[in-house]
Amino acid sequence: MSFLRSTTFRRKRWEDPELSCGEIITTSRLGFLKKAWGARGPALERFDAEIVPNIEDVLRNIDIGYVDIFVRLYMIGTRQETSRPIIMICCTNPLARSLVEDAVRNSSIPERFPDFGIGASALPLEQPVPARALAGGIQGSSFSGEDADNGGMGRGSSKHDIPIGHSTHSSRLVGRRINFKYESNDSRPFRCATGGAVIRLDSYHYQLSVNHIHEDTEADKLHPTPTQELSPMDFEDCHFDGMSEDEDSDQDTMETDVDPVLARASVTPTAESQSWAESPSSNSATSATDIPTERSFRPSPAQASTKPSNLDPIRSRTVLLSDLKHPNSCLDFALIPLLDKEVHHSLANTISVAQDSVLRELKIQEFAGVGKRMDQLIIITTRYGIAGKLAIGALYHWNSAASKTHKLYPINLSTPIEDGDSGSAVIDSVLGHLYGHIVRGCPQSLVAYMVAATEVFDHLHAETGLKVHLCGSPPPAQAAANLSQIEAESRLSEVKRWQQYAQLAHKIKGSSDRDVLGSTYTRNTWSTRFGPEVISGNIQGHLSPLLEYGSSESRDMDDGSDDKELTIVSDETNPIAHSSSTRRFKYVDTPIEMEPISEEHKVKMTGLSITDDNRDSGMDEDSSNQKTPS
């Protein structure tokens, strides 16, 4: 392959480039005059919809072996007003990178999209060092107490860390350490990841984690192999169309012979690369992706000093790799089966976070798609919650085995990511929405990447035909209808307890003859009906005492009162009035919470109602023709 190739630039000025410039990216790879912004708006929309499918077609027709290829769109220029969209092809393997760049340049893409430039770089511009999978390794087959106390990594907290606790009613599942073993009697070291959100498929419960835990550390394709050792200078390799061109020139086309080696700017790397997320844009005062401030996520001193081990009674769980369900290497996720007794629907996805010096409970109860502005994220690691903001635009990762790309979403962090953080849930710190889970990042930097939850759940739905539910959301009606006989009997016993409460509520009266009639009202001809809504969790309900507000003699029965009123006719004789009486009562809803029926079967019961449906039968309080609630 010739190193000297003829390249034709048929470039057009990008119209209104300011509308396509997102967050500024701090990098040392563009020379001293050029700047880079993450693409957004019109440029990004066209890239995602029209150009990426063409790049996939190109990659399917070349043999690059088992290497990682990343593609992302950037806006590059000396300032936003003169910037242009550049398709950057990234790979740490220089031969594979050159092969892909040549194939893209020789395709129809430059001719069909002349206003998009093409470039090649060893790393995506936001990465100071190569990103890799974050499955950690723990030497030995045991998990020490010190490792557990520090989330397995043994690092302290930073001023941006968000202490994370657990509900007093449940052990925390989200953010716990997951240790993976090859076999139960295997003496090889653990590999570890982080437990993500808890989901339900049909009647089975799972915890989300990552699939790359399968990969052996030595053969991990995200690390350079011994024959591909790279120096820091190799990471600075970068060139692109118009790299040394005067942007104020009106020339639209240029044809020249370009030597890729000479085309690269002579750039001296900085001693310590500053994160792309730490430098605010000098051209965009109203950037929507500023780094989270200490003020918005400052923990109180007492909370900041709290060790995660004191907040999380479940320090870790050991899982065999063979037990993982629905592993997917492209989207990098796998499901860890959970026992029913491990899961409390109302608490499994609940955490406590410190925000604005206040500890509040946050429940992951919905999943949402990636939006244009997501600047209040929390990454739930085993150590603490890391504040972050999502960058606009995805990094496309080419999967050779699947012959397709998938999206990785860059996240701007407040605290460096660490080994073992793969699988950490990414949630909205205000709404509790689940956006995805961490799959890779740049250790000791503020850059991480997530896979979107919507893409994972769509894949699971397509594969299984089942809808994915986050634990804590109401189960389908079919699940409630298929309860076991044991659960039905347990619910029936609770109904009887509710009947006793209703008997007490029935005695509540405001009339002057309470002492005379109070003892007789327990034998009035009435019964209870209880329509439970059955889900797993604590038993909750509404005790609805009847408050007397008048009799039929003092209030007209047809005065348009609401439908929650109840008329009870007493069969007992009033000693004072020497006649039977008709009294009217009203419901007063009072929410109460009851303890679970048993450790194995937990239900939620609502909708207590008391009706007068036995006026003519004279049934006493102990008789009942109740059917088992369904």
* pLDDT on residue 306: 32
DSSP 238-283: EEETTTTS-TT----EEEEEE-HHHHS---PPPSSPPPTTTSPPSS
* pLDDT on residue 488: 59
Task: Name which residue leads in pLDDT, 532 or 107.
Answer: 107
User: If you average pLDDT over residues 40-62, what whole number do you get?
Assistant: 96
User: If you average pLDDT over residues 508-512, what whole number do you get?
Assistant: 40
User: pLDDT tens digits, residue range 533-571?
Assistant: 333 333 334 443 333 334 334 344 344 444 444 444 434
Task: Name which residue leads in pLDDT, 429 or 309.
Answer: 429
Q: Identify the CA nearest to 472 among candidates 205, 105, 95.
A: 205
pLDDT winner (highest mean) among 10-24, 131-145, 400-414, 530-544: 400-414
Q: Which two tokens stand for residue 398?
A: 């080419």
* pLDDT on residue 579: 44
Cβ contacts of 42 within 8 Å, gap of 6 or more: 15, 16, 19, 20
Cβ contacts of 572 within 8 Å, gap of 6 or more: 517, 520, 521, 523, 524, 580
User: If you average pLDDT over residues 336-365, what whole number do you get?
Assistant: 75
Cα(451)–Cα(328) distance, integer angstroms = 12
Residue 369 has pLDDT above 50, yes or no: yes
What CA–CA distances, in Å, run from 182 to 11, 44, 106, 189, 316? 54, 42, 45, 9, 17
* pLDDT on residue 275: 38
The overall average pLDDT reported for the chain is 67
* pLDDT on residue 324: 82
- Reported confidence tier of residue 494, pLDDT bands at 50, 70, 90: low
Cα(487)–Cα(493) distance, integer angstroms = 10
pLDDT winner (highest mean) among 293-297, 350-354, 622-626: 350-354
Cα(40)–Cα(392) distance, integer angstroms = 6
User: pLDDT tens digits, residue range 180-208?
Assistant: 877 777 666 678 899 999 999 988 899 99
* pLDDT on residue 246: 63
* pLDDT on residue 403: 86
* pLDDT on residue 151: 37
Cα(126)–Cα(131) distance, integer angstroms = 10
Number of Cα atoms under 13 Å in the Cβ half of residue 518: 11
User: pLDDT tens digits, residue range 377-394?
Assistant: 999 988 888 999 999 889
* pLDDT on residue 13: 79
Beta partners for residue 565, in sequence order: 586
Cα(148)–Cα(293) distance, integer angstroms = 29
- Reported confidence tier of residue 173, pLDDT bands at 50, 70, 90: confident
Lowest mean pLDDT among 84-98, 225-239, 508-522: 508-522
Domains of the chain by range and CATH? 5-129+231-255 (no CATH), 135-223+292-473 (2.40.10.10), 479-611 (no CATH)
Task: Name which residue leads in pLDDT, 488 or 296.
Answer: 488
* pLDDT on residue 191: 80
Residue 75 has pLDDT above 70, yes or no: yes
Under a CB-based contact definition with an 8 Å cutoff, are residues 27 and 94 in contact? no
Collapsed DSSP state (helix, strand, coil) of residue 454: helix
Lowest mean pLDDT among 88-92, 274-278, 406-410: 274-278
* pLDDT on residue 490: 57
* pLDDT on residue 86: 97
- Percent of the chain with pLDDT strictly greater than 70: 50
Number of Cα atoms under 13 Å in the Cβ half of residue 186: 16
Torsion angle of C-alpha atoms 388, 392, 398, 401, degrees rounded to 10: 60
385 alpha carbon, distance to own chain's centre? 13
Residue 139 has pLDDT above 60, yes or no: no
Task: Name which residue leads in pLDDT, 88 or 625.
Answer: 88
**pTM for this one?**
0.62
User: pLDDT tens digits, residue range 445-466?
Assistant: 899 999 999 999 999 999 999 9
Task: Name which residue leads in pLDDT, 423 or 589.
Answer: 423
- Reported confidence tier of residue 98, pLDDT bands at 50, 70, 90: very high
Cα(172)–Cα(342) distance, integer angstroms = 10
Task: Name which residue leads in pLDDT, 79 or 400.
Answer: 79
- Reported confidence tier of residue 344, pLDDT bands at 50, 70, 90: low
* pLDDT on residue 452: 95
Residue 79 has pLDDT above 80, yes or no: yes
Task: Name which residue leads in pLDDT, 295 or 6.
Answer: 6
- Percent of the chain with pLDDT strictly greater than 90: 29
Q: Identify the CA nearest to 55 among candidates 5, 96, 89.
A: 89
Task: Name which residue leads in pLDDT, 166 or 196.
Answer: 196
- Reported confidence tier of residue 505, pLDDT bands at 50, 70, 90: low
- Reported confidence tier of residue 356, pLDDT bands at 50, 70, 90: low
Residue 360 has pLDDT above 60, yes or no: yes
User: pLDDT tens digits, residue range 218-269?
Assistant: 344 444 443 356 667 778 899 999 887 765 554 444 444 444 433 443 343 3
Task: Name which residue leads in pLDDT, 411 or 512.
Answer: 411
